[in-house]
Amino acid sequence: PKVITDQDCLRELWTVAGRNMDDYVTLLPVDPFYQLQWEDGDRLNYTEDQATLEAEIARYNSDDVEGYRKFLSYSQDLYREGYEKLGTTAFLNFSQMLKAAPQLIRLRADKSVYAMVSKFVKHERVRQLLSFQSLLVGGNPFKTSSIYALIHALERKGGVWFAEGGTGSLVEGLIKLFKDIGG
C-alpha cells in the first residue's frame, strides 16, 4: 500500500503475534490526506481537520457542506455494515449472502460510489473529492459499488498513514514478523 487507512488492523496483526508493531515499522500521519489538483491549477486539500475540510468544500458550494455532512453519515453507516459487520464474514454459502442483502439494499450498494456521492453534493470537484477513494482499491468510481464509500469513514476514523521508508519497509517489517514467530 502507498497509504494505510486502517493502522489498527495492522497493529492487531502484530498484537496477535505477541509483538509490538512499532518495533518493526514506523507509521507517519499524512495531512492533508490527499490533495486533488486539476489542469487549471486549482487544488483541493482533503485534510484530517473537519473544519478545514468543510471550509475547502464551501469554497466550491456552501450548500455542499451540509450535503457533505449527510454523505459522511452515510459513509459511517456503510463502514459499520460493510467493514465492521461484513468485513469478517466469509460468505461461504448463499444463505450468508442473503442475510446481508437487506442492509446492502438499504444502503444502495447497487449504485456506484460516484452516483451516491452525487446524491449528496452538487459541485463536480467536491464529487470527485468524495468518490476517488475507490481508485485506491483499483476500482472505477463510476462503476464500483458504493460500498467502497466506506473508505471515507475509515479515513475520518483512523487517519491516513505512510510507512516510514515506503512500502518496502512495511513489507520488510511483515517478513521480519513472520520470521520472528516461526512462519
Helix (H) / strand (E) containing 50: helix 50-60
**Dihedral Cα 75, 81, 87, 88, nearest 10 deg:** 160
Return the C-alpha cell found at 39: 489542469
Residue 80 vs residue 92, higher pLDDT: 80
Share of the chain above pLDDT 90, in %: 72
Q: Which residues contact 86 (CB under 8 A, 6 or more apart)?
A: 100
Q: Can you give the pLDDT at residue 103? A: 78
Instruction: For residue 68, count CB atoms less than 10 angstroms from its CB and return exposed for 0-12, middle for 13-18, buried for 19 or more.
Output: buried
Q: Residue 112 carries which DSSP code? A: B
Q: Which of 54-58, 144-148, 159-163 has the lowest mean pLDDT?
A: 144-148
Q: Is the pLDDT at 159 greater than 70, yes or no?
A: yes
Average pLDDT, the chain: 91
Q: What is the pLDDT of residue 1?
A: 61
**pLDDT tier at 91, thresholds 50, 70, 90:** low
Q: What is the pLDDT of residues 97-106, one digit of tens each?
A: 777 777 778 8
In terms of Cα–Cα distance, which of 168, 177, 144, 174 is closest to 1?
168
